[in-house]
Structure 1
Amino acid sequence: MDRELLQSKSTVPRAGGDALAHSLPAVSNSSRTVACRPKTHVVFLKVHKSASSTVMNILFHFGETHHLTFALPINGASQLGYPHYFLAESVEGFTLGNASAFNIICHHMRFLQAQVQKVMPSSTFYFSILRNPIRLMESSFVYYKGSSPFSPAQSLEEFLSQPARFYNSSAPDSHYAKNLMAFDFGFNHNGNFSAKHMQLMLQYIKEAFDLLLLSEYFDKSMVLLKEALCWDLDSIVSFPLNSREGSTGSALSESTAEKIKSWNRLDWAIYRHFNRTFWQRIDWSMGREHMQQEVRVLWERQEQLAKTCLQGGERGSIGPRELRDKSLAPLQHGKATILGYNLKPGLDKVTERLCLRMVTPELQYSRSLYRRQFPEKAQQIYKPAHPPRIHNGIMD
């Protein structure tokens, strides 16, 4: 079996802040019955189009407020060598033997476990988030419309009616159109896997990752993550980032959905398996009723914070043309309209800093972290045509 099928058979060893702004009331960890130490060595495999930008922001926010060190892409890049396999050398500041220098890795990469283990210590917690391949492919078609498989097709239905007419398996961007999750996990997205190979793929993911979350159940996923990392509730409160305007979505027929599952059979196998284990984990770790209680507390906290931070409160997401601060504009890609946020004016400095972190798009936030960790090199890489805007110490 080749490298693209199972990579390395070595497994990941198991692992054994700031509060929100002072103007917000404190929240207790209702589910915490036994003292535990927060995990601060974390690998997040950022699977495309699966609410992963929001999770990335949570990790950015936690890491920055707790003065942790990120394994950032070399030369201020936005991805860790993607779509090539991850290499330890793609991390800025990496040298052999300095794995303890990094706390969090969360930028896009094509997972290669042996290389990640060179960067991160053995106590690291590994997790990722999945999405139903039906909705993932619909989103990918819109977001990656400029990719070679999708650009000639007038619609997703047309692409799926005759994939061979549009799809070239050797194209360097073919992964956006077929088994994108399997590709991100490091497998051959064009592989004709047997049932045995499919089982080995699932077993490999199970052994390599401590937790697999589901974007369709994002709030439940965040509660599971909070419990697994021994973080407090405030550390996993978020606003959706890199989300599409609802009008750009489309309803799919049952026939189209079945074609997507067949075309993405590796992704469908991954999703079905870890959908089951997701609910099993809830059942044995806390139970459905307790989970719903935790989710309600999370909802209340998010609503409270949205009212504090966002112009428009809970429904604060807006299109790019409505953004007052263009330095907070998210990247617009493909045919999708990506939403952003306007902060309320007149916030005190502590609250504004908190709120700003939560609405800063990933590219801007990543640059800010790079500047903090590598200030001298950042000056050479980021040469703005005009003076950078600074919000309470965060440079855009």
Structure 2
Amino acid sequence: MYFSVGTSKRLLVAVIVLLIASILYTTLTYRSLIPRPFAEEFRENFRYNANILGPLKYKTVNLTLTQNKSSKRARLISCSSTQVKRVAFIKTHKTGSTTIGHIMNRFGYQRNLSFVLNRKSSNGHLVYTTLKGDSPKKIFLKPLNVTEGDYSNYKYDMITVHVQYNRKIMDTFMKPDTRYITILRDPSAQFESAFVHFQFDDVLPGNKTSRKNIETVATKIQEWFLAPKIYLEKLKELKREGVKGLRYFYAQNNQIFDLGLHVEHHENKTAVENYIDKLEKELDMVIISEYIEESLLVLKKQFCWSLEDILFISKNQRSEKAKNYTVSLALKQKMRQWNAIDYKLYQIFNETLWKKINSYGPGFYDELKLYRKLLNETFLNCTHGSYYKSLGRLFQNINYKPANNTGWVCQLLAESKSNLMKRVRIRQMPPKKNASSLEEAAHLVNETKAAPLATKRKSVT
């Protein structure tokens, strides 16, 4: 077949145009499968108050690993609804809730959301304060962008502090479409942690000096179970944080108590079953501490969040030095029996979690692998050393110091729970009270001595 020179030139140009178009299409399609570094997303989507926070610096963690085949497959798993920005996190005790609370605080802080905070408490917690319809007026800090005293507009986006669950009252001050979530832990681990943290051994025989000589925490718990009901009653007479009898509520079935079922109903089997049914209907997501990463992936998809939104560095975890003992299977069973309601609650919601995982889609484990790699990279890039904080005779926390010159995102991820909560609180305080704290908020640091550098990310405990 014969072609003229002009025709050949036109065909050549057409082929070149098609090749260029093909290359562009392939490049754009490939890039759509790769998650952008999260600092880039923050630059585009969030505005910060420079007067409070100072100049922003960014140094993202290494996200090159997100370009492998498994991450492309995982990236295809996407939600189909609007991103959830209103979350009431019911913070249970000794379950890993501080780590989850830090995730929620960071999410809300970066989006200028309004938090429920007790204005009479430096940490914002409400604990077991009875919530009433006028609580926003009498107890809470006002929301952002609302005139102080305009109580009808005291509506909030987030709850992340300790407060006992009361859905009827919470719905009166939370904004519409708020999602309610919590975290549960196997009672054999939760009770052991609570026993140490809240020092239930104060009611054991002997003085404090002799109790120190009991060999291990496990031995102390075994002694507790020689007369648990007697020791439980004795806790009513002791103070915690200046409140008489507070430790009594921590010492048996505390997780369902945090979720709103009062102690007087714990012996009523029908009341317990009905209340658990109620929680199953009302709670949008229950994180299981033993499967925290799996739970957060499910939450990510359910709430249309990103992997970057659920990054974390563990908070308030016990040091290895403070856990230099083992708990026998028999003792674990005793702790589960003692906390039988919590154990039933835990089993039900653990089963619910795995049903959600099974319905997640074929890419779940690919995305889980990616998420864990990203968590490890976050830990290595964003932390530089650790410090310990002793709380009483038996309890010692390990926390991590933010690495130097890593930028704002790493700072928020790595800093202590207290520092981030202070930022949240200062920003939400009325201007006349806020002005003197601006410089403090801009220079929050961990004023503790660094221990040897951490080289491995530790799990939540």
TM-score (norm 1): 0.80
Stretch moving more, 135-144 or 197-206 = 197-206
Question: Offset of 1:271 from its aligned partner?
Answer: 0.7
Pick one of 188, 212, 229 that aligns with 2:286. Answer: 212
Aligned to 1:91, the other structure's residue is in SS state coil
Instruction: Give, in whole Å, the separation in 2 of the partners of 1:114 and 1:151.
Output: 43
Task: Rate the CA distance shift 1:309–1:365 in 2: closer, same or farther, 3 A.
Answer: same
Pick one of 390, 410, 415 that aligns with 1:360. Answer: 415
Aligned to 1:97, the other structure's residue is in SS state helix
Instruction: Give, in whole Å, the separation in 2 of the partners of 1:151 and 1:109.
Output: 33
Task: Rate the CA distance shift 1:128–1:333 in 2: closer, same or farther, 3 A.
Answer: farther
Task: Indicate whether 1:342 and 2:401 are aligned.
Answer: yes
Identity %: 20
Task: Rate the CA distance shift 1:271–1:161 in 2: closer, same or farther, 3 A.
Answer: same
Q: Residue 369 of structure 2 corresponds to which residue in structure 1? A: 296
Superposed CA offset, 1:264-312 (max 9, x none): 11111111111111111111233xx53221211111111222222122x
Q: Residue 161 of structure 1 corresponds to which residue in structure 2? A: 226
Pick one of 158, 171, 175 that aligns with 1:104. Answer: 158
RMSD between aligned alpha carbons?
3.0
Question: Offset of 1:248 from its aligned partner?
Answer: 1.8
Instruction: Give, in whole Å, the separation in 2 of the partners of 1:185 and 1:332.
Output: 25
Aligned to 1:369, the other structure's residue is in SS state helix
Aligned to 1:74, the other structure's residue is in SS state coil
Pick one of 90, 109, 124 that aligns with 2:178. Answer: 124
- Paired residues for 1:45-84 under 5 Å: 45-84=90-129
| Alignment check: 8 A CA contact 1:130 1:213 kept | yes
Instruction: Give, in whole Å, the separation in 1 of the partners of 2:280 and 2:81.
Output: 24
- Paired residues for 1:230-269 under 5 Å: 230-249=304-323, 250-269=325-344
Task: Indicate whether 1:202 and 2:276 are aligned.
Answer: yes
Superposed CA offset, 1:76-133 (max 9, x none): 432443123334333212765325x421111000111122111102311111110000
Instruction: Give, in whole Å, the separation in 2 of the partners of 1:114 and 1:247.
Output: 43
Q: Residue 92 of structure 1 corresponds to which residue in structure 2? A: 141
Q: Residue 5 of structure 1 corresponds to which residue in structure 2? A: none
Aligned AA for 2:77? R
| Alignment check: 8 A CA contact 1:146 1:334 kept | no
Instruction: Give, in whole Å, the separation in 1 of the partners of 2:140 and 2:81.
Output: 30
Q: Residue 14 of structure 1 corresponds to which residue in structure 2? A: none
Task: Rate the CA distance shift 1:166–1:271 in 2: closer, same or farther, 3 A.
Answer: same
Instruction: Give, in whole Å, the separation in 2 of the partners of 1:66 and 1:181.
Output: 30
Instruction: Give, in whole Å, the separation in 2 of the partners of 1:23 and 1:138.
Output: 35
Task: Rate the CA distance shift 1:102–1:137 in 2: closer, same or farther, 3 A.
Answer: same
Question: Offset of 1:151 from its aligned partner?
Answer: 9.3
Pick one of 376, 379, 382 that aligns with 1:306. Answer: 379
Aligned AA for 2:314? P
Q: Residue 147 of structure 2 corresponds to which residue in structure 1? A: none
Task: Indicate whether 1:180 and 2:254 are aligned.
Answer: yes
How many residues are treated as equivalent by the alignment? 355
Stretch moving more, 194-203 or 208-217 = 194-203
Stretch moving more, 220-229 or 330-339 = 330-339
TM-score (norm 2): 0.70
| Alignment check: 8 A CA contact 2:265 2:271 kept | no
Question: Offset of 1:31 from its aligned partner?
Answer: 4.6
Task: Indicate whether 1:25 and 2:63 are aligned.
Answer: yes
Q: Residue 89 of structure 2 corresponds to which residue in structure 1? A: 44
Q: Residue 370 of structure 1 corresponds to which residue in structure 2? A: 425
Aligned AA for 1:364? N
Aligned AA for 2:357? I
Instruction: Give, in whole Å, the separation in 2 of the partners of 1:380 and 1:150.
Output: 49
Unaligned runs of 5+ in 2: 1-40, 44-57, 144-149, 215-219, 237-244, 448-461
Aligned AA for 1:344? A
Aligned to 2:287, the other structure's residue is in SS state strand
Superposed CA offset, 1:160-180 (max 9, x none): 221133111753320111111
Instruction: Give, in whole Å, the separation in 1 of the partners of 2:205 and 2:418.
Output: 25
Higher helix share: 2
